[in-house]
Structure formats: structure tokens, C-alpha cells
Structure 1
């Protein structure tokens, strides 16, 4: 009997409700439908959005199969899949690209109208391929990467070179690539410009790397964790601000470093509501641009209208403005060639069965990314 017709039983990290403990349990994974593939996950990683997901963001549907960063190998393919085969290494993403809809052909956004970002916790046909004890499982975005096997619609994945470092591939499936893309595709940072980055986790380090690639001459990083300074410098940071070390505000310190005028671009990568206004205020009057990248459970943010009225621009960004095929493939190629110092992100590793240790590790000051070994 071909594998595509069989249900697979495997282990996955599950959350049964807001505030409930994460458990590793046996689940069932259905065969792929016509335009889907079933994937054996090889490596995954932990992102702050995963913490938000067990708190009810971006949707409040449980039981929830966790994880959205990772890389895997195709185990079986649906009947209508022609561009992929068993054995291909893929990165699942949550942004599709049809290359034909109004948004895709506009060149102005990565938000495809045919294959949109899905906050339903289900597949595009509004069903699930995952179940536990006969009960339907939801996933965070397009799939659940903290499962040994998962089914993904082919329009939400990217085939990559099998020589790619698996941990690094996982990092670019969301966090690092989101920051990098925000500087490259969304802000379009100009050569010689000045940049401020709030929050120096994987997303912030990606924004620093993207800004450096675009030729920014001054890149200021803001973080209360002093240990992030060295990490950020490896990606191109020129100045570091720890707000805890000064009686002055981060805004004042950034303006001092930028001749009193503010920076050309700022990137808010934390999702902390109070920092959004600060990130706008530190940019130049009339021309400053702020990218809102970080997200969290609290998404209603009061804005300082005066800061916006004085000509500054505030723009939101999903996945750093990256298109899955057109743009992420370029980052994947750079990743495979080790053009980024992604080893600086890899600080901890745990097996799937010890997933709760990953949440504790993320609280440690020396932790950037926790890699999850799937098998």
C-alpha cells in the first residue's frame, strides 16, 4: 500500500488551552490531499510567536499543534503535485505566492490574495490533517512544525538545497528572514543611511543584517540584555544602547547618536506596545520611516498622532515583505552558502520530548534561538 494512503502516528507538541501546559503526545497525521505534501520534520526552532500562540494569538483555537519554524523532507505527495517529489528538502512558510493575483504582480506587497496568511488554524480547505484521539487539531499558521510529521499545501513551502544547514534553514523560515526582509524589501534602506533596531533577538539581528547589506552606515541596536551586543556586532551593529545603563530615554540616546535629528529608519522587533511610539519618535521629521514587525498578544496600541502628523511614516510588515518563491529563495541561497553568521543565533538545542525546557531556555540572557531536534 503506498504511503500516501496511510495515516501516520507520531509525536507532536500540543497545547489544550490558554495557559495550559504543553505536552508531547501521539497524534495522527492524514495523507496529503491533491495539492499537498506530507513532510517528515527534520529540525525546528522556537520563536516568540510560539509563546503567543499558547496565549491565544493569532487565534484562540485548541487543541493546538505547535510550532511554525522548521525544515523537513517530503515523505509523500498529493496526486496533483508536479513540482515536488519525495525526498525534497523544504521549508514551510505562512505566506503564499501565486505570481498572478493583483498583489503578487503589483510588486508592492508580499501578501498574496490567492494564498493568504491563514489565521484559521486549518488548511486552505478549512479542514485539518492532524488529529488526537479522534479530535481535530489546529495549527498556528500553515502547519505545525513541532510535529514529527505534518501536511503542508504546496503553495506555502519552498524547496531548498539539501546541503543547507538544517538549523539555519529553520531560522530563515520566519524570525531572521522577517527582519532581513523588513530592511531589504519593506523599508528599502538606502546606502549611507542611519537605522535603529529595537529588540535584538533573531528578528532584530535579521534587520541589522539586512540594513548592513543595503549599505546603512550607522546601525543602532537597542536592548536591555547586554549579552546581545556581541551577537549584534557580528551582523553589522555599529552602536549599542542598553536603556538600563542611562538616566536618559532610548529616544534621547538615539538622537544623540544621530546628530540630534533622529534616524532615517527604525525597526520595532519586540511587539512591546509602548515601544512602537518610541520607534516612531526616533526617526527624522518629515522623512523618517518605522517598520512595525514585532507582534504579541496585546495588539491594540495607542499612537502618538503628533509624531505621525510631522511627516513620519509607520508601516506594518508580515514576514518582512518576503515572497516565498521570489525572495525567500534568495535568502535560502545565501544561507546555504553561509553568507550570514547564523551560528550566532544557535545557542541551545533540545529534543522534542523536552520541549518545555525550550521555553525556560528562552528566558536565559544568553539565549537567542532554541533548536528542536525532531527525531
Structure 2
């Protein structure tokens, strides 16, 4: 049992007080985990564009003060009542789309949109009592997507924790919490490119590189990376990208360029930027021969 179990822990956290204003390193109080909750010691956290998007609060309801962060690696410090499959000392990754393991989605092989723990960007409190586990001088600081990893300690629902091999380096695998699993999973589990197929990857950031790796693992013969930054191509080769297209190099829509390169279009397309124009291009660059082909 951890020496701090059951006690409030004081630690440092990067707190967002207002939309778009610099984060401030504050001393916060982190309450003990309640029923079906786990308190984690965060050792490494990375930055995802989603954190920036909600920090800017341009397209959603502002909720401040808040502790952002959702890509991280850490160690279980203590567990709340009812937690049986995790114990202090376990190496874990927090997961923003959790699994209760009991609802229809969790029991389905085709969905991970848990009724209880699916991502909810508007919720800033814990499910068990609608209260925050973070506070500063007695005033609550809100959670973010059930993880809040920009803190030395955080409290999450047990269904939002994935236990990992302690031999895995936490400074590397922390990105598995979001970017890598998003791109890799989208390609392998949804797009499912057949062996020998052609795949277009729009955007070669972390998610796009992971998507390319998924296409490589699946055995795709041609993996075409599309990005506005030509400096990304060499890195993308390491993840299986075989060809590179920069839309700025052409005077026609990039989907037409890809269609010409592939005799009518690719077999699969994975869009990894969130840009609406890129989504349209990704959809239109897929050939229309078979109804089984898909664009993601």
C-alpha cells in the first residue's frame, strides 16, 4: 500500500486559467480516488493538438480553470474501492475513451464507444459524485477528458487506464495513449487495407505516421503520403510511406493527382488532419470500383 494512499497529495500541475492564456505551474491538491477510480503518478506526458484546441476554446463551451493533457505514461499510486485489476506500482497509460466492459458497446467487437466512458469534452468532473479531484485553496479545478495528465498526479476512472508491460519505456509509449493508437487503429481496424493495396495518408504528423505504419503492417504495396511540409517525407519513409505528394506542387486538386498516379484512385484513404478540405480530397481520391472499398 502506498504511503500516500487515502491522503490528499499536493503537487505541481500546469493549470489553464483562461482560454488562450499561458498555462501556469501551480501547486494543486489531488484528492484520493473514490469508488472505481485510480490515482496515477504521471511521469511523462506529451502534447496533442486536441489539448491546444480546447485550451483555445474556439469551438466549444469554455470550462476553466482546467488541467489539460491526455497522452501520458505513469504508475498507479493508489486505487479506490472496487478496483481489483490494478494495484499500486503498476505501469499504465491513461485512455480518454475508456471501457466499462459491461455496456453493449464494450461487449461489441465493432465499437469502443462506451456508454459510460466515451469521450466527453464538456465534463470536467468525476462520474461517481460529479466533483473534481483537483483543487487550489479549496476551489475546484476541472478535469479534461477524464485524464488531465498535465499534473504530477491525477485521478481517473479505472476504465480509463490501460496496464502495460513495466519494461516498456514510459517516455516513449506515452504517445500510445492517443496519437499512435488513433492512426494505427483507424487503419488496421476500420480501413483494413488488403495486402498489396494502395493507401493514401492525408497528413504526416504523429497520427498520420501511425496510420502509415498500420498500412505497412497490413501489407499495402503503395502508401502515398500527402502533406504540405516536404520535410516530413524522409521521416515518413521509416513508417512505410512509398510516395509523397505536396498539394502545393500541383495546379490541380490533389485528389486528381492521386487518381492519375493510381489509375483511377487508391483502395483506401485515411485522413489525419481534421481539415475539411483534406477530408473531401481523401474521400474523392478513392476509386469507385467496389462497394467494399472505404475512405476514412
Q: Normalised by the size of structure 1, how large is the TM-score? A: 0.74
> For residues 164-207 of structure 1, what are the alpha-carbon distances to aligned partners after superposition, in whole Å with 9 as ceiling and x for unaligned?
01122111110011000000111122212111111100000010
Alignment of 1:94-133 (within 5 A): 94-119=96-121, 120-125=123-128, 126-133=130-137
Tell me which of the two structures has the higher relative contact order, counting C-alpha pairs closer than 8 angstroms and 6 or more residues apart: 1
How far apart are the structure 2 equivalents of 1:211 and 1:89? 29
Show the counterpart of 1:234.
Answer: 238
CA-CA distance at 1:121 after TM superposition:
2.2
Q: Normalised by the size of structure 2, how large is the TM-score? A: 0.93
Which of these residues, 264, 270, 273, is aligned with residue 270 of structure 1?
273
Q: 5+ unaligned residues in a row in structure 1: which ranges?
A: 292-375
Show the counterpart of 1:92.
Answer: 94
SS class of match (1:64): coil
CA-CA distance at 1:58 after TM superposition:
6.0
Show the counterpart of 2:13.
Answer: 12
Give yes or no for contact 1:32–1:38 (8 Å, CA) kept in 2. yes
Show the counterpart of 1:80.
Answer: 82
Show the counterpart of 2:200.
Answer: 196
Q: Which runs of 4+ in 1 moved over 4 A?
A: none
Give yes or no for contact 1:59–1:121 (8 Å, CA) kept in 2. no
CA-CA distance at 1:101 after TM superposition:
2.1
Give yes or no for contact 1:29–1:129 (8 Å, CA) kept in 2. yes
CA-CA distance at 1:135 after TM superposition:
2.0
Residue 208 (structure 2) pairs with residue 207 (structure 1): no
How far apart are the structure 2 equivalents of 1:179 and 1:43? 21
Number of positions where the alignment pairs a residue of Structure 1 with one of Structure 2: 290
Give yes or no for contact 1:10–1:27 (8 Å, CA) kept in 2. yes
Residue 282 (structure 2) pairs with residue 279 (structure 1): yes
> For residues 62-106 of structure 1, what are the alpha-carbon distances to aligned partners after superposition, in whole Å with 9 as ceiling and x for unaligned?
111011100101111113222111111110001222333222223
Give yes or no for contact 1:52–1:58 (8 Å, CA) kept in 2. no
How far apart are the structure 1 equivalents of 2:8 and 2:152? 13
Show the counterpart of 2:295.
Answer: 290
Alignment of 1:1-375 (within 5 A): 3-56=4-57, 59-119=61-121, 120-125=123-128, 126-259=130-263, 261-285=264-288, 287=291, 288-291=293-296
Give yes or no for contact 2:271–2:282 (8 Å, CA) kept in 1. yes
CA-CA distance at 1:59 after TM superposition:
5.0
CA-CA distance at 1:2 after TM superposition:
5.1
> For residues 140-176 of structure 1, what are the alpha-carbon distances to aligned partners after superposition, in whole Å with 9 as ceiling and x for unaligned?
2111111001011111111111110112211111001
How far apart are the structure 1 equivalents of 2:60 and 2:77? 29
How far apart are the structure 1 equivalents of 2:147 and 2:61? 14
How far apart are the structure 2 equivalents of 1:113 and 1:220? 36
How far apart are the structure 2 equivalents of 1:138 and 1:190? 44
> For residues 30-60 of structure 1, what are the alpha-carbon distances to aligned partners after superposition, in whole Å with 9 as ceiling and x for unaligned?
0111211111101010111111020226652
RMSD: 1.7
Give yes or no for contact 2:191–2:270 (8 Å, CA) kept in 1. no
How far apart are the structure 2 equivalents of 1:71 and 1:58? 27
Show the counterpart of 1:318.
Answer: none
Q: 5+ unaligned residues in a row in structure 2: which ranges?
A: none
